[in-house]
Amino acid sequence: MAESVLGSVGDTKTSRETEAEKELEKRAIERAKKISEAGQTFDYIFNAWQRRHHGDAPLGKALLFSLGCQSVSNAMGIHVAATGEGGYGKSDGIKKMGKLIYPVFWKNGGFTPQTLYYSGPDMPDGVVVGLEDVVWNSELGATIKRITTDFQEGALRVTTVEMKGMEVRTAKRIAFWASCVDSQADEQLRDRLIMYSVKSDSERRKEIIRHMQALDEGDQLPENDTFETKVCQILTCNLKQRLFHVNIPFAKRIKFEGDPRAYGMFSDMIRSSAVFNYQIREEDKAGRLIATMEDFENAKSLYIEIGGHDRDKYGDAELKLLNAIVANGGVATQAEMQEKAELSSGRVSDILNGRGKQGHGLLYKCKDIIVEDKTRPIRYRLRSGFNPVYGVSIELEEPT
């Protein structure tokens, strides 16, 4: 008799949970519809992310621009790498945004080059791949370069299975979100990634702890958090069902300083902004979504916030070392860099030489460092006039 009652109670509870989930889904779908129709998708997801991950606003915006770009048929693709010391939020920022994506389109874990090709139905078109604490090596780097180059079509690989030739292809429009200590990929790979360095100063440390304490005190109710997450997942799922060709009618008026890849990154940001606002954007006679000046301003704001895009752009740790050399009169030993930058000997060595067997450190990246290895200890000299800060300038010329 007791077993019968317990079984009945268990069944009733399961039924109630199912009804509650259905009601939550219904409310979330209705809320997502209103948000999308108002052109507020980007802001809603970004604000939800900020409640879960405090600070690093440029990182959150970059991740969303990357996500929106996956719904653009004429984009080269945007990928993101968050760099910096452990414990200051680079991995957390990516993971928290990943949880707001519809689960089918978020894959986070220890991927190998082979996994990206052989994952089959587990990797749908438009999937976001999270790569945590990456130490770039030649095989992984080469695979990611190939996939990002073939962003729209997916990368093709010819292999042998049971003595027979076989073609395998990755999903289309894969976006990579990577966390790593330093930006030590080779220049071709750096060329494909928006680099963002998380702050690790004392003030940032205090901000993170205050945010953690607020979460511990339960500032946001669990049911509100669950509902908000569900709405974000529905919004991202809706975006994944669409593919737009985005036209930028004012493109010839953009006065841009930088190389072609940097401009391609910037124009993809404009397209991504238009996609997030597709419900309130017009289409031309060819069915192309038309980007507006608001999309230009959204892209410009983030581009300036992240300090522009350049394959030789330096992360915070690299800037510390370069500025240490400058402060030492333009030439310094590792010991002198260590003292002025207030970094450990091992950290200085990692930044200069790179981590791992295939490391691409600052000596590989910065062409303006001259190694004077005829003397001991080795001295590192910067060419005269070297400026480690990358300038950013974007303007829109008046129509003629």
Any domain includes 224? yes
Q: Please check whether residue 233 is in contact with residue 44, taking contact to mean a CB–CB distance below 8 angstroms.
A: no
Any domain includes 176? yes
pLDDT tens column, 73-129: 999 999 998 887 777 778 899 999 999 999 999 998 777 777 888 776 678 999 999
Report whether pLDDT(36) > 90. Answer: yes
> Do 188 and 46 share a domain, yes or no?
yes
Number of domains in the chain: 2
> Do 336 and 216 share a domain, yes or no?
no
> Do 106 and 219 share a domain, yes or no?
yes
Distance CA 377, CA 156 (A): 48
> Do 176 and 55 share a domain, yes or no?
yes
Distance CA 147, CA 153 (A): 9
> Do 320 and 235 share a domain, yes or no?
no
Which domain-ending residue is among 182, 209, 240? 240
Distance CA 85, CA 275 (A): 33
Which of 10-19, 26-35, 146-155 has the highest average model confidence (pLDDT)?
Answer: 26-35
Q: Which residues contact 377 (CB under 8 A, 6 or more apart)?
A: 333, 334, 335
User: What's the rounded mean pLDDT across residues 363-388?
Assistant: 80
Which of 106-115, 180-189, 286-295, 391-400 has the highest average model confidence (pLDDT)?
Answer: 286-295
pLDDT at position 135: 64
Distance CA 91, CA 93 (A): 5
| Identity of the amino acid at 297 | E
> Do 236 and 327 share a domain, yes or no?
no
Q: Is pLDDT larger for residue 300 or for residue 181?
A: 300
| Structural domain boundaries enclosing 232 | 20-240
The domain spanning residue 330 has which CATH number?
Answer: 1.10.10
The domain spanning residue 182 has which CATH number?
Answer: 3.40.50.300
SS3 108: strand
Q: Using 50, 70 and 90 to split pLDDT, how confident is the model at 164? A: confident
Any domain includes 251? no
Distance CA 100, CA 86 (A): 23
> Do 365 and 235 share a domain, yes or no?
no
